[in-house]
Structure 1
Amino acid sequence: MWWRRTLSRSCRCCLGCGRSGAKGIWSLHTRPVCSAPALPAGRITALQALDVWKRHFEEKGVTEPEHSSQYIIAHLLGAKTIESVDQQSLTQFLSKEKTEQVWQLCTRRLSRMPVQYVIEEWDFRDLTLKLRPPVFIPRPETEELVELVLTDLQRHPGAAETRRQTCLEVGCGSGAVSLSLLKSLPQLEAFALDRSQDAVDLSRENALRLGLQDRLKVYHMDVIKDAERMLGLFSSISALVSNPPYLFSEDMATLEPEILRFEDHAALDGGEDGLNVIRQILALAPDFLSDRGRVYLEVDPRHPPLVRRWTEENVEGLRYAETRHDASGRPRFCILQKEESHKDPDQD
């Protein structure tokens, strides 16, 4: 599926970014967007509307023109994909109201608004999440990050009998990671934080919609500015997971219009070397984690050796465990583990 295409190098692409790099793809699509086609004078079927908007998106340089029109119209017909809409619904005339809705939503896409924001929802693993700008849109690679955490937590099911399992997510966005973990692990309790109030509000809304609000606490915090406050809140965490801002600042200018115009830049820009937030997470991790608790990070493919070296030189009690690759073979995930404390209990 178009959404499943992999990231190009460090690019946190939104709508089907291909394999040749963000700049090469998107430099072709920076022309000003013109007006939408006029509403049809007569009645029109869903298939005819699909054709009109596919051609118009193509003419105006909107990427993934066919899939964009398909997802929007399928959504308005109450389906996830156009393939799941029955043929009769596609060939019968749309009501005037439904036609106007198609034009309204497709015009938003014409402005380069991501489809996820246009239809205000998207699937992440087995969840359907509400989405709205400027909250970061979860990518397929982050589903792989969740799988890594799940595998480790499920590998030790007996742990739940002696102590509760807890997860801390730094930079929760829509709540995708924490909520997905909670749905898969009934024994888990999660804490999540984000510097953006929009993200905090959306995570709470998604938790409520999914009935997971009792096991998720969401905090409006900045991991850099609110470090002392965090140290007073979190301890003995089983897993610290984050898909932090990790783009190199110089790469921001090469991102596609969908991202630059609509998504929160603070959720993308990781500073000169992409490690600003990552370094802070690693520095605080030993204070948050339980013995043998782990840190799971989604990073730029250039980061794993940098993360390993910086941790070895600067963080005591945290060991770099391994690097995992994403589905396209890129080194995408860093896993670190807190070493067991052997401190004498009488020594204080």
Structure 2
Amino acid sequence: MPVQYILGEWDFQGLTLKMAPPVFIPRPETEELVEWVLEVSQRACAVGSPGGPLILEVGCGSGAIALSLLSQLPQSRVIAVEKGEAAIRLTRENAERLRLQDRIRIIPLDVTLEGCWMQLLPWGPLDLVVSNPPYVFHKDMEQLAPEIRSYEDLEALDGGEDGMDVIAHILALAPQLLKDSGSIFLEVDPRHPELVHSWLQTRPDLSLDLVAVRKDFCGRPRFLHIQRSGTQRGCPPDAWPGPQTVAVPG
């Protein structure tokens, strides 16, 4: 069993988060993704953008990304979507432990379902979409360490034949929700920068451009910054609903 599950908690970006199987355990690489989002967000604030960003996290898992961003961007708000019941409960518990529950909305949602973006329109328009989606190529799943295959949720890892199944849905979803010049930050497989660039070239209707690729601490191209241009869609900024409890399916 992974040590994070044995201890029942783990540190991520200075936060101590509860961990429980089978919810995916956040990796050190994902801390680098958070750091990049913080750099861009803080730079935007420095040049006069009012308030904090409204962020959508797709696949929140333990809440590591969302809660790290909330803790370091004091005026930010997060919409966290997740289809796994265990992950929804764990994110909610970690948000309460860190007293961040008033600035996060946790919504049961499968982004691969057609028309799912309609459920998110009342919460937008968004400044950022961030995700560490399932991106492992299906053929590589058997090469994962035994402790991963035995204990962690494999749906949080398996990205389909080319690792693009969920990534493609996020990219198709985001333009419906982002503000003009809104950004998408993704953690991906090192083979994905070229695949994502090629995929975007075939979908000019999305008005999305791959503007930057960042390497992880091992020198592998691991993180993507994609930006939207075009006519803004979505709801007015004052459409943020008040506090509510979202029921977990089942």
1:295 is aligned to 2:187 = no
Change (3 A) 1:159 1:212: farther
TM-score (norm 1): 0.64
Match of 1:306 in 2: 195
Residue 82 of structure 1 aligns with which residue?
Answer: none
The residue type equivalent to 2:215 in the other structure is H
Structure 1 residue 312, shift from structure 2 partner? 1.8
Q: SS in structure 1 opposite 2:79?
A: strand
Task: Report how far residue 317 of structure 1 moved.
Answer: 1.3
Match of 2:110 in 1: 222
The answer to whether structure 1 residue 170 and structure 2 residue 79 are counterparts is: no
On the 8 A contact 2:111/2:117 being kept in 1, the answer is: no
From the superposition, tell whether residues 342 and 218 of structure 1 become closer, same or farther in structure 2 (CA, over 3 Å): closer
* Residue 18 (structure 2) pairs with residue 130 (structure 1): yes
**Structure 2 counterpart of 1:278:** 167
The aligned residue for residue 225 of structure 2 is: 335
Q: Deviations over 1:130-158 (max 9, x none)?
A: 00000000000000000010000000116
- Count of aligned pairs: 231
Q: What is the aligned counterpart of 2:85 among 192, 197, 206?
A: 197
In the alignment, residue 231 of structure 2 is paired with which amino acid?
A: S
Letter of the aligned partner of 1:241 in structure 2?
V
Provide the C-alpha distance between the structure 2 equivalents of 1:341 and 1:251, rounded to a whole number of angstroms: 39
Cα distance, 1:164 vs structure 2:
4.6
Query: C-alpha distance in 1, partners of 2:168/2:207?
Result: 15
Mapped to 2, the partners of 1:233 and 1:262 lie a distance apart of 36
**Cα 1:159–1:194 shift into 2, 3 Å:** farther
Equivalent runs, 1:58-73 vs 2, <5 Å: none
**SS of equivalent residue, structure 1 residue 245:** coil
The answer to whether the 8 A contact 1:182-1:212 is kept is: yes
Q: Cα distance 1:335–1:161, how it changes in 2: closer, same or farther (>3 A)?
A: closer
Which blocks of at least 5 consecutive residues in structure 2 are unaligned?
234-250
Post-superposition shift, 1:340? 4.0
Give the match for residue 150 of structure 2.
Answer: 261
Once the two structures are superposed, the pairs formed by residues 58-97 of structure 1 within 5 Å of their partners are none
Return the match for 2:216 from 322, 326, 342: 326
Q: CA RMSD in A?
A: 1.7
Is the 2:66–2:78 Cα contact (8 Å) retained in structure 1? yes
In structure 2, what is the equivalent of residue 49 of structure 1? none
State the distance in 1 between where 2:105 and 2:130 align.
15
The TM-score, its normalising length taken from structure 2, stands at: 0.88
Alignment of 1:97-116 (within 5 A): 113-116=1-4
The reply on whether 1:179 has 2:67 as its aligned counterpart is yes
Partners of 1:146 and 1:164 in 2: CA distance: 15
**Paired residue type of 1:147:** E
Which residue matches 1:317? 207
Structure possessing the higher radius of gyration over alpha carbons: 1
- The corresponding residue for 2:244 is none
2:137 corresponds to which residue? 248
Contact 1:246-1:275 at 8 Å conserved across structures? yes
- Give the structure with the higher percent strand: 2
Q: How far 1:231 sits from its partner (Å)?
A: 4.3
Shift of 1:162: 3.5
The code of the aligned residue for 1:250 comes to K
Counterpart mapping for 1:229-240 below 5 A = 229-240=118-129
Q: Secondary structure at the match of 2:127?
A: strand
Structure 1 230/158 Cα, relative in aligned 2: closer, same or farther at 3 Å? Answer: farther
Q: Distance in 2 between matches of 1:342 and 1:212?
A: 29
Give the Cα–Cα distance (whole angstroms) in 2 for the partners of residues 340 and 153 of structure 1.
20
Note the residue ranges of structure 1 that are not aligned, 5 or more in a row.
1-112, 344-348
Cα drift, residue 172 of structure 1: 0.4
**After the TM superposition, which segments of 4 or more aligned residues of structure 1 sit over 4 Å from their partners?**
158-161
In 2: Cα distance, 1:135 partner to 1:291 partner: 34
